[in-house]
Structure 1
Amino acid sequence: MRIARRWLTAALALTMGLAHAQTPKETFDPLIDAVMARYRLPGLAVGVIDHGEVIYMRTAGELARGSGQPVTPDALFKIASNSKAMTATLLARLVEQGKLRWDDPVTRYLPAFRMFDPWVTQHMQVGDLLTHRSGLREGAGDLMLWPEPNHFTRTDIVSALAWLRPVYSFRAGYAYDNLLYVVAGEVAAAAGGAPYETLLKREVFEPLGLSRCRVGEWRRDAMAPVALPHVKHDDAYIPSMPDDPVVHPTTMEAAGGVQCSLNDMLAWAHQWLAPTPQQLSWLPQAQRDTLWTPYTPMPISAQRRAWDGTRLYAYGYGWRIADVDGALTVSHTGTLSGMYSALYLLPDRQSGFVVLINGDADDARTVLVEVLLKHFTAPQKARSVDSYADELAAKEHTRRTSRVPDTSARHPATANELRSQLGTWRDPWFGDITLCPRDGGVIFATAKSPRLRGPVMRVGQRYLVQWEHGDAEAWLSPSTGKDGLLHLSKVDPDADFSYDYEDLAFKHVRGCE
């Protein structure tokens, strides 16, 4: 009788526990609300998949702050570097069709392709383009991609690689790059016999029913709703209003130019977690395994070790592979000015999530990803949004006070004090810049990147360029008799690596006109 009573008590407890189990809305809504409130985000879209089913979708905020137009599951967001997995998948489709091989030399498809080292040029394979182990500096050549818009072409990028000096040996280590994904897109175009944009639509978007994903040229009004990017100004988000109703192709489509909705990104994630027979016919398991193979070990930060217990972190073909609290994750993030994204997959339980944000939101994305991950990998280790946010804020305060110089005491430099530096200067891959008098000061301006422009300011005995776009200011190191070259470097040493000033070396070519 006592055994029966114990069984009945346990059954009642289980029944009561199930009755009080939280719904996905009850679980995730408070997390979304807390992140939105803490970071005052302009807009956000989140979707969660568990055991092969979409169990939660939430949108919040506006397409453009102050517009009154809400974010919806169909709103298009720039997914930035989450485009890389799509590019890798396009190449996998071409491999499956017998149009190229992963170990083919890049020069088979792009005879003009050149790296700084001729041996590397000869031995760079298609697969190498996707694994961030080329030997280039992190973000090398990214100033040809942004700030947008600019006038660089994909042909410019392919030819510029020969000027970018490696900082370590080929295949010897990890350093994130974007230019080689642009090259990968051009390889796909050469092997597939059509432009990259055409191929991506035909081979990836259409077979998977990603009906709102866009790449290349399209009209905003025809594809509404479209989320606008927002940048921070005086601790408030300001939308970047488009000047042109048409979205034009850029050099970086294959590295980070795709735009998709939450619905499309969930469909994209779902076919990786629980593919149908038709989807496995579209991309067989062998190719899927190839994309998710760890090729390049990546450094594991102290924060990742502390928060997630990570011991394996590596890059595959367009994906990052890591263990989080003992669970396998396959993921990527996307970062562009005013747009942040994240896609995380937990293949062993057919679960994952998508995050799309239309604002500069590094910490917000980090916190939201962590609280969503913990729901799947270690609920017992879950912390509050504010707990993670406070930790990141404290680290950033310490970093800024210890590593970022105080440049507040600045004033415009004069043409007289910079007279020996005035004129047009040329870098072999970036092109021409001018340092010329204007409005009582000196303006730094670039020929092919119009937004990379601003007044030269004096800070003590040093000079910096105060970019009009407000990001990643640069120290200007005047030329000397030693090498006669003009150099730039980051004022904030930890600024986004895509501002790869360190790869620039300008030689004087003529005076100001």
Structure 2
Amino acid sequence: MVKHVGQRPLSWLHITAAVLVSSVLAVPALSQTVPLTLGAIPPEDMVPLAKGGLEKALADLPAAVESVLKRSGVPGAAVVVVQGGKTVFARGFGVRELGKDAPVDTSTVFQIASMSKPIAATIAAIEVTAGKVSWDDPIEKHLPGFAVGDAYVTAHGTVGDYYSHRSGLPHAAGDTLEDIGFDRKTILERLRMLPLVAFRTSFNYSNFGFTTGAEAVAAAAGKTWHELAQQALYGPLGMTATSSRYADFLTRDNRATLHTLQDGHFVAGFTRDPDQQSPAGGVTSNVVDLAEWLKLLLADGERDGKTLISPAAMLPALRPQAFSSPARTIASRSGFYGFGFNVAVNANGRPDMSHSGAFVTGAATNVHILPSADLGIIVLTNAGPVGAPEAITGHFLDLLQFGEVTRDWYALMHPLLMQNYDPVGDLVGQTAPISPRPARPLAEYVGTYDSAYFGPATISQGESGLVLTLGPGAIKMPMTHWDGDTFSIAPRSENAPYGSLSSVQFKGQGKPETVRIDYLDDAGLAIWTR
């Protein structure tokens, strides 16, 4: 796997399933009848919660949050706990932006990144309940023009296949197209050019694969995604500060600023517009609103005496649909993914649903739901992934279940999450040749080169040398001569963290005929022809 965010073996999206679960205890025999409810597991298969554990965990929570913020350098966080249908804890901590006094409170709106996925699954379940769509509907039924690189998968891939990342699309499919400015429609159209892996027996986390499933749900409802999200979920639950459209986030006066990690310190100033992958990563909200979403899930889809989601429609999202991390030995645990949720059974024999979200450009979030305790916790932060939200939820759930903290959760999570900052490109860590071979006259490289997948790449000559321009976003990167026909660029984007360094290699007799950009070439498609 390549090393950009969302593309690591232990990326933030899987950690809650792979690490916060201690072991799997006995489950009901197949002959037993299990009710279709979120907490359906016989009490004898669960270790009792610690006596007074909830009270202890709630009392300890402010100090636990403050400690993690101090250790991590994360500027601000908001936390909410729902139990028994009520909000039993909601509080903001720290500041919205470093160097400014405005505090984070319970109304502060955050970008929640991939925590958007379980919300998108909830919206789909509402539409399944309404009879507009089924988890088993082929994507073609609702998106007749959509295709991937295999005719069988195109015809048979279902809404559920794309919501569970088992479609066979490669990891992070389409993310680099988003980085250089392509819109959702174009990105989904170009997924057909990517090589596939095994259908339904593989797991490759893909924001745009997930978005494909959500687009099918929206098409079945006859609405755009942000319209459907508002009408199906946010409106009925009174989530007035929540949106699936970035422009709405920018209108909030009380909003959190992103902070990205650079040279070991968080800095403000970056922005992240995730509209093109909105179902997968584009929700903005506060903890007051998100508490209402938790209450809906924990109430088996009922709100004010009305059924918004039937348990039969929601349950498939909350049980294993794919191996997110198959066990490598007989002594290892496997990780599982449902439809938009990490799903597991924890050390107490209790079903556990979770998801993390992160932007390297400056956000990290985590949700954990423990249905058998009728409880959910959400942590939102305004800094890139360093393990802070996961450490807070792990600490809290330890006290709730065991009455004591079993480990230093931040020390455990921090190094795992730091992998998200590994720079990309083949020149990272390399030293430029002391006596490089000369380049051709720079004018010979100038021109427009084309790629069916990435679109045109323009090489122009500026005052300081060559400049590479990519995509509809006209992303410009100065080029530095490295050796012969090889130049270097230092990309910086959501999928190219600080410190990335990539080669740009020209080939051809006479004037160069092709150019290859290494950091974009995961699928072998980053070769442009003049």
* TM-score, normalised via structure 2 length: 0.78
Asked if the contact 2:366–2:390 (Cα under 8 Å) also holds between the matched residues in 1, the reply is: no
Task: Report Cα offsets for 1:222-247 as digits up to 9, x if no partner.
Answer: 532111111223333222266xxxx9
Asked if the contact 1:462–1:475 (Cα under 8 Å) also holds between the matched residues in 2, the reply is: no
- Considering fraction of residues, name the structure with more helix: 1
Q: Which runs of 5+ in 2 are unaligned?
A: 1-49
Task: Please point out which of 100, 106, 130 is paired with 2:139.
Answer: 106
Asked if the contact 2:439–2:483 (Cα under 8 Å) also holds between the matched residues in 1, the reply is: no
Quote the residue 2:339 is aligned against: 317
Q: What does 1:100-249 align with in structure 2 at a 5 Å threshold?
A: 100-146=133-179, 150=181, 152-166=182-196, 168-216=197-245, 218-219=247-248, 222-240=251-269
Task: Report Cα offsets for 1:336-376 as digits up to 9, x if no partner.
Answer: 22111111111111122111111113333343343233233
Matched, 1:440 2:467: no
Task: Please point out which of 56, 59, 75 is paired with 2:108.
Answer: 75
CA–CA separation in structure 2 for the residues paired with 1:378 and 1:18: 9
The alpha-carbon deviation at position 179 of structure 1 amounts to: 1.0
Asked if the contact 2:164–2:210 (Cα under 8 Å) also holds between the matched residues in 1, the reply is: no
CA–CA separation in structure 1 for the residues paired with 2:484 and 2:395: 44
Q: Which runs of 5+ in 1 are unaligned?
A: 1-16, 491-498
Asked if the contact 1:414–1:441 (Cα under 8 Å) also holds between the matched residues in 2, the reply is: no
Secondary structure in structure 2 of the residue aligned to 1:251: helix
Task: Name the amino acid aligned to 1:504.
Answer: L
Task: Please point out which of 412, 429, 454 is paired with 1:388.
Answer: 412
Task: Report Cα offsets for 1:131-188 as digits up to 9, x if no partner.
Answer: 10111211011112337xx3x222202211111111x221121110011222223222
Asked if the contact 2:75–2:95 (Cα under 8 Å) also holds between the matched residues in 1, the reply is: yes
Task: Name the amino acid aligned to 2:252.
Answer: M
Quote the residue 1:8 is aligned against: none
Matched, 1:331 2:354: yes
Quote the residue 2:82 is aligned against: 49
Task: Report Cα offsets for 1:239-288 as digits up to 9, x if no partner.
Answer: 2266xxxx988211112111010111122122212354647611111112
CA–CA separation in structure 2 for the residues paired with 1:98 and 1:20: 41
Q: What does 1:368-447 align with in structure 2 at a 5 Å threshold?
A: 368-380=392-404, 382-384=406-408, 387-388=411-412, 405-407=428-430, 416=440, 421-447=445-471
Matched, 1:299 2:325: yes
Alignment CA distance shift 1:392-1:86 (3 Å):
closer
Task: Name the amino acid aligned to 2:288.
Answer: N
Bigger drift between 475-484 and 197-206 goes to 475-484
Alignment CA distance shift 1:123-1:432 (3 Å):
same
Task: Report Cα offsets for 1:385-405 as digits up to 9, x if no partner.
Answer: 564367659x979x99xx995
Asked if the contact 1:455–1:467 (Cα under 8 Å) also holds between the matched residues in 2, the reply is: no
Task: Name the amino acid aligned to 1:357.
Answer: T
CA–CA separation in structure 2 for the residues paired with 1:408 and 1:301: 38
Question: Identity across aligned pairs (percent)?
Answer: 24
Matched, 1:288 2:314: yes
Bigger drift between 222-231 and 281-290 goes to 222-231
Alignment CA distance shift 1:265-1:277 (3 Å):
closer
CA–CA separation in structure 2 for the residues paired with 1:239 and 1:292: 36
CA–CA separation in structure 2 for the residues paired with 1:130 and 1:390: 28
The alpha-carbon deviation at position 88 of structure 1 amounts to: 2.1
